[in-house]
Amino acid sequence: MAQEQKAAKIFGGWNRRYKHTSDVLGCDMTFTVFFPPAATESKPAPVLYFLSGLTCTDENVTTKSGIQRKAAEEGIAIIAPDTSPRGLKIEGDSESWDFGEGAGFYLNATQPKWKQYRMLDYIVKELPSVLKQFKQLDLSKASITGHSMGGHGALTIGLKHPDMYQSISAFSPISNPMNVPWGQKAFSGYLGDDKETWKQYDATELVRKYEGPPRNIIITVGTKDDFLDNQLKPDVFAMAAAGTNVSVDLKLQEGYDHSYFFISSFIDDHVAHAARALKSS
Amino acid sequence: MAQEQKAAKIFGGWNRRYKHTSDVLGCDMTFTVFFPPAATESKPAPVLYFLSGLTCTDENVTTKSGIQRKAAEEGIAIIAPDTSPRGLKIEGDSESWDFGEGAGFYLNATQPKWKQYRMLDYIVKELPSVLKQFKQLDLSKASITGHSMGGHGALTIGLKHPDMYQSISAFSPISNPMNVPWGQKAFSGYLGDDKETWKQYDATELVRKYEGPPRNIIITVGTKDDFLDNQLKPDVFAMAAAGTNVSVDLKLQEGYDHSYFFISSFIDDHVAHAARALKSS
């Protein structure tokens, strides 16, 4: 059972932060749920997972994006997980801001040293299981989105598990991690040198082989994002999707950067995208 | 001249943070301006000052409240100042979270040790003078609001200078500081023991003697605010306003606390309140 750490009313709903012991990761983990005002046990709310980026916790999106306003209006719950295991004290897990703590990359590590870094299993298996304690959530109706490293997480997890997530979107996602510095550092560290394993966590590789039901994926990126060309490459992903069951709506927003100022400006589009899928499912 | 430190596009406008040397305070000061998309030199935007609470800087409201969304829509610029001088290294200025740095209480100190704490003069004289460098702002049209200690600031400054601010509102304001612990600590420290001086900075005392033009002041407070009864006392202020030119619309919001989750839920009301006054002036 997850234990409530703190709670605050916002836009008529409740932002609640929980802690629980993760068997998958072998440490205590924190996550936040926003319960919209319409969520009740007799009429449980569908959920939208928001996976956060490098260095973030569950609190970045819940304090800076304003996501609760539109989620309250649409009657959608927001699930904000953390970005890595915490407190494992693995040598080197706190030396870099783009590897180790705060940088789990939403994968299951294969290298022995990092074997507890299993954020993929945490997000798709353990967390949904923990969330069952909340009867006011309908976990059978779920969408997924995220930012930067979390955009990578949303794309890869959404494409690998089309049965679990009825829609996918992303802000400024790392879209082809095999071919950019952030991804290469993370993948070699967590997964070793085998490029076939890397492909399982590369959205561009995954979309080429996608055989699930049709998906329209919204990707929003700022044209003044400092990471656009050398780390994100959403255009490479969009090109790879051509001819598959995935259509990509790549929205390039003039003058915006990589920050939560940018995310807050367009968060409504992503909540509405999820709402359309969740309400028709 | 204030120098730009950083800038980000948000809701079609620009959030820009500046640093300048304050002659009044004798230190460098930081503030943020949100320029709405409609602000131009030929059609300058009216401004809404947001004064922040204890421990805050200009960044709390600009990263957590979502104020830019409604301000962009209404075509109003937001001015977010800091809450005290910084870096003066006065003995004891960093020992308490409710006195000294981050806790200037928007007054002009009279005690020699704190003589550089002149946030009232900074807000009503120096900052507007510095802001003149931005030709896309119409500083003759200004409203004022704030939170907690900043709500105290908005009420007292707005009531003392009805010529400068066309409307006033506040979130969870310290409304009768002379009679609560936060106010007594600050006033005795900055102003000494003379209660007549204290009255110049107590909104409840000021409203009783208010002789300016009619003002409708919106005050929004959460019923679950831990500070409501022992530090804020907005009801005492509302009672004192009876029979004056000031009408108080005290909005008690069921279940909300003192946080930015609360502020974000009702910020639109306060921006709209300012917009009504600024557009009719």
Tens digits of per-residue pLDDT, B159-217? 999 999 999 999 999 999 999 999 999 999 999 999 999 999 999 999 999 999 999 99
Report how far apart, in Å, the C-alpha atoms of A202 and of each of A98, A105, A108 are.
17, 11, 13
Report CB contact under 8 Å: A265, B10.
yes
Could you give the percent of chain A with pLDDT greater than 70? Answer: 100
Whole-angstrom distance, CA of residue B19 vs CA of residue B14:
16
Does residue B148 have an active-site annotation? yes
pLDDT band at B247 (very low <50, low <70, confident <90, very high): very high
Complex ipTM more than 0.90, yes or no: yes
Of the candidates B159, B167, B149, which has an alpha carbon nearest to the alpha carbon of residue B60? B149
Instruction: Sort out which chain B residues have CB atoms less than 8 A from A8's CB and list them.
Output: 256-257, 259, 261-262
Q: Which of A265, A269, A271 to mutate to test the interface with B (most CBs of B within 10 A)?
A: A265
Whether residue B278 has pLDDT greater than 80: yes
pLDDT band at B281 (very low <50, low <70, confident <90, very high): low
Q: What is the pLDDT of residue A236?
A: 98
Whether residue B41 has pLDDT greater than 70: yes
Q: Which of A147, A152, A258, A270 is catalytic?
A: A258
Shortest alpha-carbon distance between residue A16 and chain B (Å): 11
Tens digits of per-residue pLDDT, A57-96? 999 999 999 999 999 999 999 999 999 999 999 999 999 9
The pTM of the whole model exceeds 0.80: yes
Whole-angstrom distance, CA of residue A58 vs CA of residue A30:
7
Whether residue A280 has pLDDT greater than 90: no
Within 10 angstroms of residue B122's Cβ, the number of other Cβ atoms is: 25
Tens digits of per-residue pLDDT, A55-65? 999 999 999 99
Structure tokens at A48: 């939208």
Shortest alpha-carbon distance between residue A170 and chain B (Å): 18
| Number of cross-chain residue pairs from A and B with Cβ atoms under 8 Å apart | 61
Q: What is the pLDDT of residue A281?
A: 66
Whether residue B271 has pLDDT greater than 80: yes
Q: Which of A17, A60, A252, A261 to mutate to test the interface with B (most CBs of B within 10 A)?
A: A261
Instruction: Sort out which chain A residues have CB atoms less than 8 A from B66's CB and list them.
Output: 66, 69, 264
Q: Which of B152, B258, B270, B273 is catalytic?
A: B258
Whether residue B274 has pLDDT greater than 80: yes
Residue recorded with tokens 């109706």: A141
Tens digits of per-residue pLDDT, B66-121? 999 999 999 999 999 999 999 999 999 999 999 999 999 999 999 999 999 999 99
Report CB contact under 8 Å: A224, B9.
yes
φ/ψ (deg, to 5) at A232 = -95, -55
Cross-chain CB nearest to B261 (options A8, A224, A261): A8
The answer to whether B63 contacts chain A (CB < 8 Å) is yes
Could you give the percent of chain B with pLDDT greater than 70? Answer: 100
Going by the DSSP 8-state scheme, the letter that residue B225 receives in this structure is -
Cross-chain CB nearest to B264 (options A66, A255, A256): A66
Report CB contact under 8 Å: A9, B69.
no
In terms of Cβ atoms closer than 10 Å to its own Cβ (0-12, 13-18, 19+), residue A213 is: exposed
Within 10 angstroms of residue B218's Cβ, the number of other Cβ atoms is: 21
Shortest alpha-carbon distance between residue A6 and chain B (Å): 12
Q: What is the pLDDT of residue B53?
A: 98
In terms of Cβ atoms closer than 10 Å to its own Cβ (0-12, 13-18, 19+), residue B121 is: middle
Of the candidates A229, A233, A220, which has an alpha carbon nearest to the alpha carbon of residue A259? A220
Q: What is the mean pLDDT of residues A250-267?
A: 98
Of the candidates A40, A33, A36, which has an alpha carbon nearest to the alpha carbon of residue A19? A33
Q: In chain B, which among 149-208 make CB contacts under 8 A with chain A?
A: none
Report how far apart, in Å, the C-alpha atoms of A127 and of each of A46, A168, A180 are.
15, 18, 29
Could you give the percent of chain B with pLDDT greater than 90? Answer: 99
